[in-house]
Chain A
Amino acid sequence: MAPKVSKFAPFRSKKLDLGCFVNTLVLRDHTKRKVFEKVEPQRQALRYIIRNTSLPQRMRAQAQLQLTQMHCYTRPTQIKNRCIMAGRGKGILGDFRMSRFQFRLNALAGNIPGVKKASW
């Protein structure tokens, strides 16, 4: 029996391997990451066909069409880093995967190893 797929969230993964703050936006981002991971070889193959000038023009055009017709969730540009403590999508410090305010709170609380208030 095929697994039941939600009508509204067809790509949502069955297992949420998330260990952070969760809200709708975080869930959506998680889904996009999963989908992209799954279809990446296919995307790369299509991209290769499109860029390979030794292949027939018709084949390349078809590959182009196929790539553009893929679901938007399969695009790597849809993936956005989000704060693991608050789910915020702006002002993320990549080193800590946290938004600026959460970073400040945690740094002041001494939860981030080695980070101290600076004065020079």
Chain B
Amino acid sequence: MAAPSYSRSPFSLLKRIKLSQSTPLLAQARRAGLANVKDENQTNAFGIAPSSSQPLPPDVARTIETLPVPRAVQAMYLRPLRRTPKYGLPVCNLQLRSYSVRNLDFFADFAMRAAYFLNLPAKGPVPLPRIIERWTVPRSNFAHKKSQENFERRTCRRLIQIQDGNPETVQLWLAYLEKRGYHGVGMKANMWEYEGLDLAKRMDREAKEMQYGVEQEFKRLGLADEHGQELKKKVQNLLGATAEKERQKPEGLSDVSR
């Protein structure tokens, strides 16, 4: 229920007054206090608004209109570019999931472009089969099983595969996608890393080194106290010897001074 008119603020009354015949969005912005919002129709294709004080000379305006669009901007209107893989080894499988195809396709496109600019050869987006889940529930809160209603949830999926990518770059790509995540789009990635043929030898070597370290540790295990005692004795001996020397030195010095 609306509040009585005397309790409404005078500013909310202004909401009902139409200030101009411009577009509703613009009018809304003006009402919200953004007085300097300009009409979008006055800007040209590059989004440059002509200054209100003096219009551009006609030849300058024509030149601006005929300027070539930058290639990076032009590419946004075309299908995403892709790198060709050299070996075709799969390195990462990224699965995008969403309930809305629109968001999903947009984000898949974005991911492809990001992969291109990171120098990653990407395959896809492959449309995977939709997952359709259905639930049937009675319409009423109690009994009346004969009258039921069906609900469903369709999950759309897209697969993007990265081939021959450097694992670090792939992780960077994934992190970037996560940072720029789009609403309502989920991601799941599987990564594979490839090792050289000398992996087994290297692992053996590492195991040996580790074994040595562990043995050194185990030698001291349970002997910490004894070890400490020994060390203490050594320190005492050492300190005792130096103390003796110290004691002897001043005597010698004093002898000299005499």
Contacts and interface: CB of A to CB of B under 8 A. Distances in A.
Interface of A: 93, 95, 100-101, 103-104, 107, 113-120
Interface of B: 99, 133-135, 137-141, 149-155, 184
A60 B138 CA distance: 50
A107 B184 CA distance: 17
Contact of A107 (B138, B141, B151, B154): B151
Where chain A touches its partner, the secondary structure class is mixed
A104 B139 CA distance: 7
Which of B134, B137, B140, B150 gathers most chain A CB within 10 Å? B137
Contacts of B155: 114
B151 A114 contact: no
Contacts of A116: 151-153
Contacts of A103: 135, 137, 151
A93 B135 contact: yes
Contacts of A115: 135, 151-153
Given A104-B149, A118-B152, A113 B137 contact: no
A114 B137 contact: no
Contacts of A118: 134, 150-152
A76 to B, nearest CB: 27
Contacts of B133: 95
B153 A117 contact: no
Contacts of B149: 104, 117
Contacts of A113: 99, 184
